[in-house]
Amino acid sequence: MSTQLRENVVRTRTEYGAVLLDERTGRYFTLNPSADLAVGVLAQGGTAEQAAQAVTEAYDVDDATALADVELLLGNLRTVGLAR
């Protein structure tokens, strides 16, 4: 299942990863480079598994850890209202 950022969320890449701005509340959320990579895959319609695969290809992390981290990230994004 793919996850999309809500329409009111703006993603801006930085030298340290990315920042997500919730335009409804004015709150900023920072993403480290691996989280930004995962969000980028998800934002393009990818699944959690595809995002985890991208993370394992870019960073020294095993498949199970990457998938668990992506799923945790998705849960957090949904909890704060940034993703659906």
Q: Mean pLDDT for each consecutive 10-residue tract of the chain (84 residues)?
A: 83 95 96 97 93 98 98 95 91
- CA 80 from chain centre, in angstroms, equals 13
Distance, in Å, from the CA atom of 6 to the CA atom of 16, rounded to the nearest integer, reads 23
The per-residue pLDDT for 60 is 96
Angle at 51 between CA 50 and CA 52, to 5 degrees: 90
Residue 1's pLDDT is 58
On whether the pTM is more than 0.85, the answer is yes
Tokens in use for 45?
Answer: 């319609």
pLDDT in the model for residue 4: 82
**Which percentage of the chain shows pLDDT scores above 90?**
89
Question: For residues 18 and 32, is the Cβ–Cβ distance under 8 A?
Answer: no
- Indicate the CATH number of 9-80 among 1.10.3470, 3.40.50, 1.10.10, 1.10.8: 1.10.10
| E strand segments, 1-84 | 9-14, 17-22, 27-31
Q: How far apart are CA 27 and CA 21, in angstroms?
A: 6
